[in-house]
Structure 1
Amino acid sequence: MTTLQPLAYGYVRDDLLSNRDPSASDTLLRAAARSLGYVLGTVFHEPGPQSATLPPVFVDLVHECRRAEACTVLTLPGHLASTSVCRKVLLAILDASVQEVSP
């Protein structure tokens, strides 16, 4: 019998990427998910700072986590730290864990 691995999603702010190559961050998150025992679904890419309290792509991430009942979000260091409201939403509303993956 095959066991299903838990589902995780990724979140990246493209403006914080040092090499400006979003596919490199996707590859990194996919490898990290695999090593942590997750299957990585979509990586949500936020284009940059937003004036809204919750950035639009982050809201999409929350809706998808809720729909799929995923409780883990993988991100790069600092990509959710600058938006503490976002981290609180993930932890409180979704009861999700946030794991930062170092390059």
Structure 2
Amino acid sequence: MSAQGSRPEDFEISSEDFEQEFTFEVEDGLAKTVQVRRKGRGLVVNIRYQDDALSDHTDEAFEADGAITITAAEGGIFISSFRSLLSDRVRLRRTRFF
């Protein structure tokens, strides 16, 4: 598995609008593309697997307060974010692998 393209391995994204695409070769001919889009608090992650005979597509949406951290790893990316709950009395930290 290898990540394609030139980008930092670990970077932080502020609450401004953002869009980035990451491509990984999973195995012989099977590619995984992860697209991250942020608009305000909304964050949408689009995951696509594709080869000559197969195509699969999944969208996941969630909200994040403040900056999020993206870490490129072998075979995908980790996204770490925070979300305020209960009138800002609780901060939920979320780390997901896509």
Q: Same fold per TM (> 0.5)?
A: no
Larger Rg: 2
Q: What is the TM-score when the length of structure 1 is the normalising length?
A: 0.23
Q: What is the TM-score when the length of structure 2 is the normalising length?
A: 0.24
Higher relative contact order (CA 8 A, sep 6+): 1
Q: Which has the higher strand share?
A: 2
Q: Which has the higher helix share?
A: 1
